[in-house]
Chains A and B, each alone.
Chain A
Amino acid sequence: MTQRMDLGDAVRDALPVYEASPALRAWAIEEGRKLDGEATPEGSSMNRARARFWRSPQWRVAAGLIIAAFAGWGVGSLRPISNGSPSDRLTSELIDAHVRSLLPGHLMDVVSSDRHTVKPWFAGKTDLAPAVLDLSDQGFPLLGGRLDYIDGHSVAALAYGRRLHTINLFVWRSGQDERSNGSFAVRGYNLVHWTKGGLSYWAVSDVALSDLEAFRETYTK
Chain B
Amino acid sequence: MMQGRFERVVLPHLSGAFTLAMYLTGNRADAEDAVQEAILRAVRYFGTLRDEDARAWFLTIVRRVCFTAYRTDRPRGTDMISIEAVPLQLVDHHEQPDTTAERLQVQQRVRDAIDQLPPLLREAIVLRELQSCSYTEIATITEVPVGTVMSRLSRARARLADLLRDVADFGDVA
Contact = CB atoms under 8 A, between A and B. Distances in A.
Interface in B141-174: 157, 160-161, 164-171, 173
Contact of B170 (A10, A188, A207): A10
Interface in A3-20: 3-8, 10-20
Contacts of A39: 1-3
Given A29-B11, A32-B11, A35-B6, A17 B46 contact: no
B13 to A, nearest CB: 10
B47 A31 contact: no
A10 to B, nearest CB: 5
Interface residues of A, number: 45
B44 interface: yes
A21 B44 CA distance: 23
B2 A36 contact: yes
A103 to B, nearest CB: 13
Contacts of B40: 31
B47 A44 contact: yes
B4 interface: yes
Interface size class of B (residues with CB under 8 A): 35 or more
A58 interface: no
Interface string B20-38: 0010000010011001100
A128 interface: no
B36 A27 contact: yes
Contacts of A8: 128-129
Nearest to B106: A10
Nearest to B83: A15
A5 B168 contact: yes
B57 to A, nearest CB: 7
A211 B49 CA distance: 14
Contact of A42 (B3, B47, B166): B47
B61 to A, nearest CB: 11
B130 interface: yes
B47 A188 contact: yes
Interface string A24-46: 11011101111111010111100
B39 interface: yes
A150 B95 CA distance: 70
B14 interface: yes
A31 B38 CA distance: 12
Interface centre among A8, A17, A33, A35 (most CB of B within 10 A): A35
Contact of B44 (A10, A15, A42, A211): A42
A12 B129 contact: yes
B121 interface: no
A14 B111 contact: yes
A5 B160 CA distance: 13
Nearest to A6: B170
Interface string B89-130: 100000000000001001110110010000000000110111
Interface centre among B5, B15, B18 (most CB of A within 10 A): B18
11 contacts: A4-B171, A13-B110, A14-B110, A15-B130, A16-B89, A17-B15, A20-B32, A24-B36, A28-B11, A35-B46, A39-B2
Given A10-B170, A11-B110, A164-B140, 6 more contacts: A13-B107, A15-B110, A15-B130, A18-B15, A28-B36, A31-B40
Interface of B: 1-7, 10-11, 14-15, 17-19, 22, 28, 31-32, 35-36, 39-40, 43-48, 50, 53, 56-57, 60, 83, 86, 89, 103, 106-108, 110-111, 114, 125-126, 128-130, 140, 157, 160-161, 164-171, 173
